[in-house]
């Protein structure tokens, strides 16, 4: 028997508490807090370090996470089931049974903890902003998150049946299992201080760096102050003097957004703009891009800040830049299998692939990884350093990489006509055609041929050219 309400309003879709909170600016603070609590679990922290792109590509990761949550909490049962299956396939590929940090992303207890952090951080969000949930609302929110866990893997019973039973469970995990993991330290003391500019702000790097220098420590201090006191003490996370007042001010200020006219703040629009390519053809992107450029020009006119050079892709012969921006997807300074798996994951996510196409793409990348190891891993340590990469760049475009290009083409060419038309192109690159298709054979002006696609992909992945549509696809933060 539980005290979770059986509400008339469905747990998912319009009218749900999730639907209410998702456009609430406070929720951004709550999600950061939840991420830290997730990363403090040893298994989650290890999985994040090995597999996640949140350090090198935070805005891309933000968009993918937001879209996934929208699908899982939406009203369409079929969409939810399909997204759950995709997430389960993704998590099934994230496991390590050896070494100092074993983990399994399919561990049901770990998955329950991830959902628990979302619920508890939502409750804390409301309390800190002076709008605490009443018992009925709290029961409702808890029912939605348990239903989310059930939709994900059918194991909603991994979380206690009621809110009353949840708090002892939560306190026990905080007291007995959480640690000050390396992933926690990266989030609190590296991510916020070094987060790259979103693509639309590449044109104002000085302003971004200045704003980040102020906002980064503030977000870190607010997040630390919001964490459970028991965890802060065990982890040795010092609370900055005045952080408590700053914490309450941040949540209270974000909570004032409820007085804005409806529709003024929509998470989908904000997240979409933050992760959009600056060269996209969306009119909203162009409007923001033009506004940013004008703002940058105005600031340069009225302040002594040095001129901001226009952003441009790194030189094509700069192996180190390409290594960092494209190949090192996880941002740990080396190439390992998780970096290539992250590429496959991003491409499969963009194309919304199901089985068996998704597995075929991962298999092609796995074959390329073995080829790279054979050619570049000269010291046999199972990873490729920047120096090993620079010495063996010509070895990147071998037969296995050609197979990756072929598989990607087949996955994009949904109608199987051996051409990528405008709609298929937009599905992969999220923009209209960005290459000159007016020359070539018959119909070249209307589609991307297999030969051209494979040639461009190989040129990009071998680090020979950074001006193709593949640059924002895999290099964009």
Three-class SS state of 96: strand
- 244-286 pLDDT per residue, tens: 888 888 888 887 877 777 767 778 887 877 777 666 666 665 6
- Residues linked to residue 96 through DSSP beta bridges, in sequence order: 103
Query: What is the 8-class DSSP label of residue 384?
Result: B
Classify the phi-psi angles of 238: left when phi > 0, otherwise alpha if psi is within -120 to 50, otherwise beta.
beta
Residue of 270, 231, 258 whose CA lies nearest to 66:
270
Could you give the CA distance from residue 94 to residue 333 in angstroms, rounded to a whole number?
Answer: 20
Q: Phi, psi at residue 332, to the nearest 5°?
A: -100, 10
Q: According to the model, what pLDDT value does residue 304 have?
A: 52
Q: According to the model, what pLDDT value does residue 257 have?
A: 77
Tokens found for residue 212: 């980040």
Could you give the CA distance from residue 410 to residue 363 in angstroms, rounded to a whole number?
Answer: 14
Residue ranges of domains in the chain, CATH in brackets: 17-255 (no CATH), 319-474 (1.10.238.10)
Cβ(203)–Cβ(308) under 8 Å? yes
Could you give the CA distance from residue 188 to residue 250 in angstroms, rounded to a whole number?
Answer: 17
Could you give the CA distance from residue 227 to residue 37 in angstroms, rounded to a whole number?
Answer: 8
Give the burial class of 280: count Cβ atoms within 10 A of its Cβ; 0-12 exposed, 13-18 middle, 19 or more buried.
Answer: buried
Could you give the CA distance from residue 298 to residue 110 in angstroms, rounded to a whole number?
Answer: 50
Q: According to the model, what pLDDT value does residue 197 have?
A: 84
Other residues' Cβ atoms within 10 Å of the Cβ of residue 306: 8
- The enclosing H or E element of 104 equals strand 103-104
Full DSSP string of 293-339: HHHHHHHHHHS-PPP-PPP-PPPTT-HHHHIIIII-TT-SSSB-HHH
- The separation between CA 369 and the C-alpha centre of its own chain, rounded to angstroms, equals 23
Three-class SS state of 46: helix
- 106-149 pLDDT per residue, tens: 999 999 999 999 999 999 999 999 899 999 999 999 999 999 99
Tokens found for residue 190: 């590296």
Calculated CA dihedral for residues 276, 279, 280, 285, nearest 10 degrees: 70
Cβ(452)–Cβ(412) under 8 Å? no
Q: Spell out a b/e string for 395-421, using b for 16 or more CB atoms within 10 Å of the CB, else e.
A: ebbbebbebbbebbbebbbeeeeebbb
Q: According to the model, what pLDDT value does residue 243 have?
A: 84
Q: According to the model, what pLDDT value does residue 6 have?
A: 46
Classify strands 103-104 and 95-96 as parallel, antiparallel or unpaired.
Answer: antiparallel
Task: For Cα atoms 210, 211, 217, give the angle at the middle one, nearest 5 degrees.
Answer: 100
Full DSSP string of 133-190: PPHHHHHHHHHHHHHHHHHHHS-GGGS-SSHHHHHHHHHHHHHHT----HHHHHIIII
- Residues linked to residue 120 through DSSP beta bridges, in sequence order: none
Three-class SS state of 341: helix
Q: According to the model, what pLDDT value does residue 1 have?
A: 41
**Segments in the chain below pLDDT 70:** 1-8, 98-99, 263, 277-318, 394-395, 433-446, 463-468
Could you give the CA distance from residue 326 to residue 323 in angstroms, rounded to a whole number?
Answer: 6
Give the burial class of 114: count Cβ atoms within 10 A of its Cβ; 0-12 exposed, 13-18 middle, 19 or more buried.
Answer: middle
Cβ(468)–Cβ(459) under 8 Å? yes
**pTM, two decimal places:** 0.85
Q: According to the model, what pLDDT value does residue 7 have?
A: 46
In 352-449, which residue ranges form alpha helices assigned H by DSSP? 357-376, 386-391, 399-412, 422-429
Q: According to the model, what pLDDT value does residue 317 have?
A: 47
Other residues' Cβ atoms within 10 Å of the Cβ of residue 88: 14
- The enclosing H or E element of 231 equals helix 229-235
């Amino acid at each position: 028997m539980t005290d979770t309400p059986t509400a008339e309003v469905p747990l998912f879709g319009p009218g749900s508490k999730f639907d209410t909170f998702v456009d609430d600016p406070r929720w951004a603070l709550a999600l950061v807090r939840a991420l830290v609590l997730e990363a403090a679990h040893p298994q989650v922290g290890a999985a994040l370090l090995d597999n996640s792109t949140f350090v090198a590509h935070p805005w891309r990761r933000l968009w993918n996470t937001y879209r996934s949550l929208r699908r899982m909490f939406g009203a369409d049962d079929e969409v939810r089931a399909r997204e759950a299956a995709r997430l389960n396939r993704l998590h099934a590929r994230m496991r390590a049974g050896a070494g100092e940090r074993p983990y399994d992303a399919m561990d049901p207890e770990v998955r329950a903890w991830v959902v628990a952090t979302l619920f508890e951080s939502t409750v804390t969000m409301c309390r800190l902003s002076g709008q605490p949930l009443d018992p009925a609302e709290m029961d409702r929110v808890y029912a939605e998150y348990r239903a989310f866990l059930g939709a994900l893997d059918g194991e909603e019973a991994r979380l206690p049946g009621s809110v009353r039973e949840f708090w002892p469970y939560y306190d026990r995990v905080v007291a007995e299992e959480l640690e000050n993991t390396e992933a926690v330290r990266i989030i609190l003391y590296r991510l916020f201080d070094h987060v790259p500019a979103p693509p639309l702000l590449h044109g104002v790097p000085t302003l971004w760096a200045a704003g980040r220098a102020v906002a980064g420590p503030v977000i870190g201090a607010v997040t630390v102050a919001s964490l459970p006191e028991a965890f802060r003490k065990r982890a040795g996370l010092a609370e900055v003097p005045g952080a408590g007042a700053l914490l309450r001010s941040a949540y209270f200020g974000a909570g004032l957004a409820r007085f804005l006219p409806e529709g003024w703040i929509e998470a989908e629009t904000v997240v979409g703009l933050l992760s959009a390519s600056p060269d996209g053809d969306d009119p909203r992107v162009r409007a923001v891009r033009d506004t940013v450029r004008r703002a940058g020009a105005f600031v340069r006119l009225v302040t002594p800040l040095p001129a901001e050079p226009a952003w441009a892709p790194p030189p094509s012969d700069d192996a180190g830049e390409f290594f960092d921006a494209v190949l090192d997807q996880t941002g740990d300074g080396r190439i390992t299998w998780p970096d290539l798996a992250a590429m496959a994951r991003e491409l499969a996510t963009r194309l919304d692939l199901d089985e068996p196409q998704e597995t075929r793409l991962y298999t092609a990348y796995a074959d390329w990884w073995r080829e790279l190891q054979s050619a570049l891993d000269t010291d046999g340590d199972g990873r490729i350093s920047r120096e090993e990469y620079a010495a063996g760049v010509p070895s990147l475009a071998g037969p296995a990489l050609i197979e990756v290009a072929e598989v990607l083409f087949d996955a994009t060419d949904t109608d199987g006509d051996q051409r990528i038309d405008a709609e298929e192109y937009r599905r992969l690159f999220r923009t209209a055609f960005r290459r000159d298709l007016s020359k070539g054979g018959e119909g070249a002006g209307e589609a991307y041929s297999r030969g051209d696609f494979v040639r461009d992909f190989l040129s990009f992945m071998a680090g020979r050219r950074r001006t193709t549509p593949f640059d924002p696809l895999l290099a964009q933060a």
